[in-house]
């Protein structure tokens, strides 16, 4: 779970998920109300999870699977990514450049 770099308090899973559904690049700390930003490494890790679902869509190309086998696989992969996402987040006080 991410830890605020200003106050040092660890966010809960629920607080992290709530903050991640904003369109702003910074996240407000629920404890000290300062703006926190994802680190460059955390942005790379979280954006890499976006490619897991499209890659899993290629399963029928390599394996002969029926739709009733694939649907639970797709749902479980989606839920797994949703649950793991907050654990991949690290915060910093300053916004780091992408490159």
pLDDT per residue rounded down to tens, the chain (99 residues): 888 988 889 999 999 988 888 888 888 899 999 999 989 898 888 888 888 878 878 877 778 878 888 888 888 988 998 889 889 888 998 887 776
Domain count, the chain: 1
> 97 in a domain, yes or no?
no
Containing domain of residue 69, as a range? 13-92
> 3 in a domain, yes or no?
no
Q: Where are the beta strands (DSSP E) in 10-96?
A: 26-28, 35-38, 91-92
Place of tokens 């200003």: 6
Residue of 17, 11, 14, 13 whose CA lies nearest to 30: 11
Give the C-alpha separation, 54 to 63, whole Å. 15
45, 39 contact by CB (below 8 A): no
> 2 in a domain, yes or no?
no
């Amino acid at each position: 779970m991410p830890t605020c770099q200003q106050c040092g308090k660890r966010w809960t899973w629920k607080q992290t998920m709530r903050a991640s559904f904003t369109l702003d690049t910074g996240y407000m700390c629920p404890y000290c109300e300062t703006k926190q930003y994802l680190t460059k490494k955390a942005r790379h890790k979280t954006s890499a999870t976006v490619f897991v679902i499209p890659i899993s869509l290629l399963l029928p190309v390599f394996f002969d699977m029926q739709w009733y086998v694939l649907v639970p696989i797709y749902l479980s992969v989606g839920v797994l990514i949703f649950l793991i996402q907050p654990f991949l987040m690290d915060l910093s006080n300053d916004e780091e450049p992408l490159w």
